[in-house]
Every structure is written in C-alpha cells, then in structure tokens.
Structure 1
Amino acid sequence: METFNATDVKRDFGEMLLKVQKAPVAINKNGKPVAVMLSSSDYQYLEALHNQWLKTEIQKGIDDIAAGNVIDGKAVFAALRKQVEDGAI
C-alpha cells in the first residue's frame, strides 16, 4: 500500500481518487498514520464482511443461551477482578 502525507493528498486529491480505485492509500499526518483511503467497492466489501461477522457472533451468543451456556454477571465480574488482582490482566 502506498503511503502519502496529508498535504500531498490534499494537493493531489483527484490523483488520489484514481489511485484508490486500484489499491488503498495510507495517509500520514506529521509522520504518523491517520487514515486509509479506499474505493467505494472495497469499503462495501469490508462492511459486508463486518456485518457477516457480527451476525455470526450474535448467533453464537443465541446458541450459547439456548444450550444453557450462561454465566451470572456477578461471577464474571468476580473472575475479572481476581485476574486483575493476580496481575493476569
């Protein structure tokens, strides 16, 4: 992935729009990565992947509930607290 500084992207925005049709473009500001420009079709693909992942995770949760694989909220917080106290987290 090509990387450009924000000033160059601003100055050559039309050229950047052409570049992102072929591959995403990373944008740095003050030498640090701040954004990635990508084509609309790439963005739609990522959104579809993300939505599918969310649906899968929700279904896993529903399946766990249906199978009785649930834990009381107080027990979860107690386990987390113990991990923090033991230095595991």
Structure 2
Amino acid sequence: MVVKATAVKTHFGKYLEDSIKDPVTIEKSGRKVAVLLSIEEYERLTTIEDSYWAEKAAEAEKEGYLTHEESMAALRP
C-alpha cells in the first residue's frame, strides 16, 4: 500500500493498524520516502541482517583479515 504523507498525518491510527498486516509505503511530493511496518516484520528483517553480517564476519575470520593498522596502511596512497 502506498499513501501520501498528508493522509498518514491525518489518519495515522488507521495506517498504523494497516501496517500490522502489510508494510505501508509513505509518499511525499510524489517520492517514496518511508515505510511503516509492524514490529514483527522489523525484527524479522533485523534478524536476517544480523545473520548476514555474522556470516560475513565468520568468512573473513576464516580467510584471515587485516588488522586495523594494516587496513589503514592499505588505504593510504
């Protein structure tokens, strides 16, 4: 569902309830700017993201990684 920001401002409670079932995309000046979603969906997405980064960190650790000093030296011209 895509709604205008003014509609959300006027009927926030309705869109808050709607967001429990499905995310509500908020549009301002014809541009999508935000999404209102349930806490369950937010937690699901953050769990997925946390798992992704934990996996990337484990891969980096297995492959070996640079220390902070080595990383900084590699960034210098």
Q: TM-score, normalised by structure 1?
A: 0.72
Q: How many residues align?
A: 69
Moved over 4 A (4+): none
Higher helix share: 2
- Structure 1 gap segments, 5+ residues each: 67-71, 78-89
Q: TM-score, normalised by structure 2?
A: 0.82
- Structure 2 gap segments, 5+ residues each: none
Q: Indicate the SS of the match to 1:55.
A: helix
Distance 2:9 2:41 in 1: 21
Structure 1 residue 39: deviation in Å? 0.2
- Residue in 1 that maps onto 2:46: 47
- Residue in 2 that maps onto 1:56: 55
Q: Which has the larger radius of gyration?
A: 1
Q: Give the number of the structure with larger relative contact order, counting CA–CA contacts within 8 Å between residues 6 or more apart.
A: 2
